[in-house]
Amino acid sequence: MDGICVFDWRYGSKEMRELFSVDSIVKHYIDVEIAIVRGLEEAGLAEKGCSEKLIECMYSIAANEVYGREAVLGHDIASLAYLAGERCGSCGRYVHLGATSYDIVDTAWGLLIKKALAIVKDRLSKIIIKLAKLSQSYRDTLMAGRTHGQHAIPITLGFKFANYVYEFSRSFERICEAEKRIVLCKISGAVGTMAAWGDRGLVVETTTCRELDLKPYIISTQVAPRDGFAELTAIFAILASQLDRFALEVRELSRTEIGELFEVGERIGSSTMPQKRNPVIAERISGLAKIVRALVVTALENIPLMHERDLTNSSSERILIPHILLTLDQMLIDMEKLLNSLGIDEEAMRRNLEKSKGAIMAEAIMVKLVEKGMYRHEAHKLLREITGSLGKDEAFKEALIKNQLIRNMLSEKEIEELLDYRNYLGCYKELIDRAINYANNILQNCKNKENTLDSPSIQARNFTP
């Protein structure tokens, strides 16, 4: 098992795979065990200097030895403690003294998740920055806004991208908030009372947590409260669904009959149809999102444990935690690839915007008619009738001009101005700026200053609502 990933599958980066390899997991177990011995020393419960002496001995214990012993003992942490006791001389007797297995496991999870979240946040911040750049580059590029799959009113591509800037920034914020409740140190003994360490338990905990650069859980049973793991899983499911939403956008807009966004690359779209340009990266994002969402149920089911704990969470979390991080890691990698290979056809956007022959501006006409004195419901009914009876080659403008009721209220010049797409974009520029400013604040507040939107090319104007 030495050097083999816990889950040897095709997804996730090399760094995330290595983080959740059996070697890495056992190494983090050892980190925690040695830190606890340092805490025992500080509390006067272990011989001074033992934590230093244990370093060379314990890190020489290989993962395959631990799991080989587990095949006999049926317990991985006990196997590690036995091996240390047998090999590490007189100091070996202090390894795992007064600790319970989930002091080791939950604290190791805290360390591993801390490192994994650093990878996740780095990838997500780059995605937010890339989307912000795209939003600024295409802030004035007209396209059809769609609801229910139908043309609604005009928007800009930059406005569309800015919505994703905002949504992904909210997920970044959620991760930072959840990190405070999950990246923690659990050192409290058999049922959480620190009984084995007497009145020196808090000294053991404080020293151990300081050595590992983690804050402690306020209180626990034999295990850390599982709501933190469930919260993080739910947040990842939200982020996965947001990635899925963007991927779905690309998939829909890359349809042959739309062709506004598409994946550019050398990948083969179809094994048999050479002309196909399949959105395979986007489709993989959508496929993996299903896995992440499904894991939420498992995480929620792990919250209710009997009394001070049972073992029902352990087996599922060995699958849940590495899998969800490896899956989300792959989705973020794919999202970066998708953004970097995104084809944008502005001519197709203009062509599609004209497909309704101006009828996409019906709301603008209705608003002006109400302004001129017509009741809204009457204006709505009138325009429904006009748009519903347009001839095959008849433009909306022609139908408006020949309607006497419309002409009694609007001049031809007013109609032309009302049908200009650029006159009906509302506060899109301010809204784009507001989204980018929000993202910048989130990235800065979450201490990710190496990846912010401070570049002049993408920085939004300050916006005060």
Q: What is the mean pLDDT of residues 29-54?
A: 98
pLDDT tens string 289-310 = 999 999 999 999 999 999 999 9
The catalytic residue among 21, 79, 101, 148 is: 148
pLDDT tens string 112-136 = 999 999 999 999 999 999 999 999 9
To the nearest 10°, report the CA torsion of 164, 167, 172, 177. Answer: 180
E strands in 167-245: 184-185, 215-216
pLDDT value of position 459: 54
Whether 148 is catalytic: yes
pLDDT value of position 344: 97
SS3 145: strand
Compute the mean pLDDT over every residue in the chain, rounded to the nearest whole number. Answer: 92
Better pLDDT: 370 or 452:
370
pLDDT value of position 52: 97
DSSP 8-state secondary structure symbol assigned to residue 448: -
pLDDT value of position 268: 55
Segment holding 153, helix H or strand E: strand 150-156
Flag whether pLDDT at 366 surpasses 70: yes
Instruction: Provide CB contacts within 8 A for 252, sequence distance 6+.
Output: 149, 258
Counting residues of the chain whose pLDDT is more than 90, the rounded percentage is 89
pLDDT value of position 392: 83
Flag whether pLDDT at 464 surpasses 60: no
pLDDT value of position 465: 34
Banded model confidence at residue 8, pLDDT cuts 50, 70, 90: low
Instruction: Provide CB contacts within 8 A for 253, sequence distance 6+.
Output: 259, 260, 261, 262
Q: What is the mean pLDDT of residues 95-107?
A: 97
Is-contact 450 128, C-beta < 8 A? no
SS3 147: strand
Is-contact 345 255, C-beta < 8 A? no
- Structural domains in the chain, CATH included, are 101-139+150-194+215-352 (1.20.200.10), 359-418 (1.10.40.30)
pLDDT tens string 336-357 = 999 999 999 999 999 999 999 9
Counting residues of the chain whose pLDDT is more than 70, the rounded percentage is 92
CA distance 54 to 31: 10
Q: What are the structure tokens assigned to 173, written together?
A: 């914020």
In DSSP notation, 61-108 reads S-HHHHHHHHHHHS-HHHHHHHHHHHHSGGGGGGTTTT--HHHHHHHH
Whether 270 is catalytic: yes
Of 6, 27, 246, nearest in space to 135 by CA: 246
pLDDT value of position 393: 86
Verdict on whether the full-model pTM lies above 0.85: yes
Q: What are the structure tokens assigned to 441, written together?
A: 């604040």
pLDDT value of position 29: 98
Strand partners, 143: 155
The catalytic residue among 60, 75, 270, 455 is: 270
Banded model confidence at residue 6, pLDDT cuts 50, 70, 90: very low
